[in-house]
Amino acid sequence: MSPGPVRGATPNRRLGSVRGVSVLSPPGRRARPSAPETSRLSSAAREELRRRLLGLIEGHRVVIFSKSYCPHSARVKELFSSLGVECNILELDQVDNGASVQEVLSEITHQNTVPNIFVNKVHVGGCDRTFQAHQSGLLQKLLQEDPAYDYDLIVIGGGSGGLACAQEAAVLGRKVMVLDFVAPSPQGTSWGLGGTCVNVGCVPKKLMHQAALLGQALTDSRRFGWEFSQQVKHNWGTLTEAVQTHVGSLNWGCRLSLREKAVAYVNAHGEFVEHHKVKATNGKGQKTCYTAAKFVIATGERPRYLGIQGDKEYCITSDDLFSLPYCPGATLVVGASYVALECAGFLAGLGLEVTVMVRSVLLRGFDQEMAERLGSSLERLGVRFLRKFVPVAVLQLEKGSPGRLKVVARSTEGPETVEGVYNTVLLAIGRDSCTKGIGLEKIGVKINEKNGRIPVNDMEQTTVPYVYAVGDVLEGKPQLTPVAMQAGKLLARRLFGGRLEKCDYVNVPTVVFTPLEYGCCGLSEERAAQEYQRENLEVYHTVFWPLEWTVACRDNNACYAKIICNKLDNERVIGFHILGPNAGEITQGFAAAMKCGLTKRLLDDTVGIHPTCAEVFTTLEITKSSGLDIMQKGC
């Protein structure tokens, strides 16, 4: 039984294996014998094992560390059986790495023998001490002292990952609370339940992306025979009103879903004040404390500022753009992240003058050939790139909606400075994790001090056994909504449903929703060369011309596709990349194929659907190593 007010719940009786950490057998069953251990644990593995053991002790009512042949262990098991108490038994002689488990356990308890018994997280001791506790009545008292927490689980953060975890835990019969609070941006923007994706990320971004595509479709339509005489113009107010109406409906849907699953939702800022206890502060400053057996940190990230004169006073971020009450006009986008390029793309697609100021490279961490091709597609749309410059000051020239701002920028390669005047400056230089100010240091949860992200093990467990984390706050994991949702759902199932499945962070597909979309799955060419050596790779590539673009007379060399194959593994596809229309829809299907071990031969054996863009991957012939030209000549 897990700590908390819920009774009669079936416990999770298995401790997943990592680096030889044992499997916990259900009561009355023995683990299968395993090979004897052959090596001592490294310091990192020892710390990981210690964390797992503490989590096991933390999460179960009675834990007996035993050996199957030990008569003293048998006596203790019989005692608890006679009391009708369900126990979780770890047979150290019949599990992998049992000696190391016992060694780490002795460090925790200062007891070198078995049985080693814990009741409601209290170390009772061995056989003699357990029987003494039984005779004195102490054991019965300990068994009754199942901590009366307010909740089985409190999730701090109401974004996609946190909500997925909370709702799944509630479906599994647990008492769950969600604490969510959005601090207004420096420009005063705030929003409702649902996190970044719903309010200021994926959803409004995709809708504005669609608005830009419709503008291009209007231009193309004349070539397809559509005639219209009236002047076509875009109304920013109409767009933002429609977008915010839809976002509002999603906010309500999130709240309704929590209500239907009996998840308590409190619009308040959560902060740990001591172990198993958080203080919730609402917008009026009212404070309430809650306790829980387990916690999940899902606080996400917020846009980073430059730390220069005028940045917070006059600049906006993606937090503000999608509900901006006026058309941004001539816009300077600072940054080269996917957020920066997506925003630059749809603003240009709406007919605005857009400049992108880039400190170093486009789309750091993505395939750089694809990034440069994407940049070229934006330039053809009219976006101007100012490379190797960073802003040093933002000055207001005129107030207004929009006003006029002067930006002073300095070269990253020398003393040169430039100035420019814009109506709006949009910062998209990265994001900072929202892990400061929530009391993690008070309970010992470690974070990366440089970026605020939380290191976790493969079970999303932090350095404190009863605290877990999902979503963008994780160190070294993909920062994507579907990843957070999957991780949150699987975490709840492991904690409360007796399941073992872990989130797979390998080969996660993603798409940059610029006007010409870029989809990818697996490794970039640079990363593949590092991991497999370039001589072991074969890269198949081509440009392609969508049929829809032919009549519209659009560029016949803009769209590009490539796959990166490992020659030493039957030409298995380890990198998939496409720049073209509907790249998101295309990439999703091929991502599933890559999970199944997609090879070049399987692609060749697949019959393409004609005429589509996706079929280009079934006919790839030219390799980079051949040196053959892939560019199309003529129209």
**Catalytic positions:** 610
Whole-angstrom CA distances from 261 to 124, 297, 597 are: 38, 20, 38
Contact between 627 and 540 under an 8 Å Cβ cutoff? The reply is no
Write phi, then psi, for 519 (nearest 5 degrees): -115, 145
If one counts every other C-beta atom within 10 angstroms of the C-beta of residue 135, the result is 9
How far is 506 from 508, CA to CA, in rounded Å?
6
Q: Give the 3-state secondary structure percentages of the chain, helix then strand then coil, rounded to 5.
A: 35, 25, 40
Contact between 538 and 565 under an 8 Å Cβ cutoff? The reply is yes
C-alpha 332: how far from chain center: 28
Write phi, then psi, for 380 (nearest 5 degrees): -65, -25
Which residues on adjacent β-strands are paired with residue 538? 565
Side by side, which strands form the sheet with 559-566? 510-512, 518-522, 572-579, 559-566, 537-544
Residues 322, 324, 328, 332, CA torsion sign: negative
Contact between 426 and 317 under an 8 Å Cβ cutoff? The reply is yes
Long-range residue pairs from 273-281, CB within 8 A, at least 24 positions apart, any chain: 273/439, 273/442, 274/442, 274/443, 275/443, 276/147, 276/149, 276/466, 278/154, 278/156, 278/179, 278/439, 279/439, 280/179, 281/181
Contact between 209 and 515 under an 8 Å Cβ cutoff? The reply is yes
How far is 387 from 412, CA to CA, in rounded Å?
9
Write phi, then psi, for 582 (nearest 5 degrees): 55, 35
Residue whose tokens read 């934006």: 378
How far is 550 from 125, CA to CA, in rounded Å?
79
Residue whose tokens read 């499997």: 23
Type of residue at 150: D
Residue whose tokens read 């009450």: 325
Residue 261, class by beta-carbon neighbours within 10 Å (0-12 exposed, 13-18 middle, 19+ buried)? middle
Q: What is the C-alpha radius of gyration for the chain, rounded to an integer number of angstroms? A: 29
Length of the chain as a residue count: 635
Closest CA to 293 of 179, 177, 181: 177
Strand-strand pairing, 384-387 and 354-358 = parallel
Biggest CA pair distance of the chain: 96
Which residues on adjacent β-strands are paired with residue 25? 89
